[in-house]
Amino acid sequence: MNKIDDKTGYTQWPFIEAGRIVERIKRQGKSFVIAQTGYGPSGLPHIGTFGEVARTSFVLQALNIIAPDIDARLISFSDDMDGLREVPKNIPNRRMAQKHLGKPLTSIPDPYGEEASYAHYMNRRLREFLDSFGFKYEFASSTDKYKSGVFNDGLLRILGKHERIIELFTKTISEDKRAGWSPFFPICESCGKIYSTKVTGHHPENGSISYECSVSAEDKFKSCGHKGTVSVL
């Protein structure tokens, strides 16, 4: 027999998690909750996509039952500025997509020929997928948020504290990946790739970073050797 949770009076795990959220919200003096799930639009949505949104929705539904006065929202966030590392086997025009490996997904043509870009097509399929199950969510695109300036304040704060961030983060990754790690991934102004660049300098005084396009992935994409300085905004 499952033990009844003292805080919520329920035994099911979504209610237990919701109870923990309520406690945290009360401590912080807030009256709302924003939950977020992530989607990498390099491929079509799948059972893992469903599971992430379903589990989060279960918790928010439980939260609405035990604390209806708390405003709860679910955002399905598409990381569509990420680059394409591999071409999925279940899409058409794979040779075309192969030529764009390493580039941001919103900069790659739609292999289906229906939308403005590879990412736009996958994002549409995500929304159709989630809608078919009746999930209540708000869709958000990384590219749209970046271009609209929503991230500007955060990006400048990160740039201003980049040394401390690098110090903390590199302790969590393997030694072979620590050298040259940066919280920023500039897009090469020459070849348009994001996974071929390496940050060579951080300039918080003017909100920019320097980089070189020098990282190649064998049998996937090549760097072009370009060097430049770009704004983080």
CATH number of this structure's domain 1-150:
3.40.50.620
User: What is the dihedral sign for C-alpha 208, 212, 213, 215?
Assistant: negative
For residue 229, count other CB atoms closer than 10 A to its CB. Answer: 14
User: Which ranges in the chain are annotated with CATH 3.40.50.620?
Assistant: 1-150
Distances from the Cα of 115 to the Cα of 52, 86, 120, angstroms:
26, 20, 6
- What's residue 79's pLDDT? 97
Phi then psi for residue 33, to 5 deg, are: -135, 130
> Please, are residues 118 and 97 in contact by the beta-carbon 8 Å criterion?
yes
Within the chain, where are the H helices? 13-28, 47-66, 94-98, 118-132, 142-148, 152-160, 162-169
- Distant-in-sequence, close-in-space partners of 38: CB < 8 Å, separation ≥ 6: 52, 77, 78, 79
Element (H, E) at 203: strand 197-203
Burial readout 134-160 (b: 16 or more C-beta within 10 A, e: otherwise): ebebebbbbbeebeeeeeeeebeebbe
pLDDT for position 217: 87
pTM of the model: 0.90
pLDDT at 3: 53
Residues of the chain with pLDDT under 70: 1-8
